[in-house]
Amino acid sequence: MSELCPPFAPFFGFAGVASAMVFSTVGAAYGTSKAGIGITGLGTFKPELLMKSLIPVVMSGIIAVYGLVVSVLIAGGLSPQIEYSLYAGFIHLAAGLSCGFTGLAAGYAIGIVGDACVRAYVYESRIFVTMVLILIFAEVLGLYGLIVALILNTRTSGLDGVCSL
């Protein structure tokens, strides 16, 4: 094993896989639960508005899907047969962390905004468009992390033969 490809390099790669899934799921869980509190409150007054008020929950699910896709993407590039440099390990760690923590932030925002907006939607129906707009902006935060993760992951493709340098 050379200096550039130590045996502990895959640790960072797998840490990236795990952190992408774990942190974005924590964000999605917070978003689902916080919005769910408001939705059950709304459901006791106006059950006909339930389908529209479930939009924050669907958006939290999409944050978790972002984490899932990045995890699968990074894990696909890890294998015991290929030469895995420490540089590639750090790239994968950065990709996983960027997707994970932005997913956490996005899920947090979706939860709080979803809760407040569905509570207000009981009284004023024009809040719906505002709610969807704010939720889209909150979700795009997770999308930015995913874009950075994708761009980082492409940097591992040109690293063949680095272990024998």
Partner 1 sequence: MSIQAASARIAEHTVIGGVLAKLALFSLMLALGPISTFYGVKWYITEDTNLAAIGAIVVANLILVAYILVAINEDKEDQRQLQQAKEKLETRKTQ
**The binder of partner 1 chosen from 1, 2, 40, 76 (CB under 8 A):** 76
Under rule CB under 8 A, how many of the chain's residues touch partner 1?
27
Residues in region 107-126 near partner 1 by CB under 8 A: none
Least Å distance, CB 4 to partner 1, is 23
Coil, helix or strand at residue 100: helix
The C-alpha atoms of residue 35 and residue 17 are separated, in whole angstroms, by 27
Binding to partner 1 by residue 15, rule CB under 8 A? no
CA–CA dist 134, 140 (Å, integer): 10
Q: What are phi and psi of 125, to 5 degrees?
A: -80, -15
Residue 160 near partner 1 by CB under 8 A: no
Q: Which of 52, 83, 94, 159 binds partner 1 (CB under 8 A)?
A: 52
Binding of partner 1 by 127 (CB under 8 A): no
Is residue 99 near partner 1 by the rule CB under 8 A?
no
Among 98, 93, 91, which residue's Cα sits nearest to residue 23? 98
Q: How many CB atoms lie within 10 A of CB 127?
A: 17
Q: Which of 47, 80, 158, 161 lies at the binding interface for partner 1 (CB under 8 A)?
A: 47
Residue 145 neighbours by CB distance under 10 Å: 28
- Write down the least CB distance from residue 81 to partner 1, Å: 17
Q: Does 68 bind partner 1 (CB under 8 A)?
A: yes
Nearby residues of 48 by Cβ (< 8 Å), 6 or more positions away: none
What are the Cα distances from residue 20, in Å, to 51, 65, 137, 156? 30, 10, 21, 17
Can you give the binding site for partner 1, defined by CB under 8 A? 47-52, 54-55, 58-59, 61-62, 65-66, 68-70, 72-73, 76-77, 132, 143, 146, 150, 153-154
